[in-house]
Amino acid sequence: MLQHFSYKPIYAGGSLPGWTFSFFYKQERFTGDYQPDGTIIWTGETPPEEENVKKMIHELMTFHVYE
């Protein structure tokens, strides 16, 4: 499970879509960028069980951003 998930627009004012996010997973911090098409670009280390983590991020972003 992801802990302390946070996100914010990449671009000031949010005029262009795209978000930067961070979270803790298995007691490690991970960061990345979430593109409008759902692509995730890791800006640091890639988390273990990457596909499962991506699914959790997509669910959170869908709930928070596209609601």
Q: What is d(CA 57, CA 34) in angstroms, rounded to the nearest whole number?
A: 9
CA nearest neighbour of 19 among 47, 46, 38 = 38
pLDDT digit string, tens, across residues 29-65? 999 999 989 999 999 999 999 999 999 999 999 887 7
Q: What is the pTM of this model?
A: 0.86
Q: What is d(CA 21, CA 61) in angstroms, rounded to the nearest whole number?
A: 10
3 state SS of 33? strand
Q: What is d(CA 33, CA 42) in angstroms, rounded to the nearest whole number?
A: 6
Both tokens assigned to 51? 């596909």
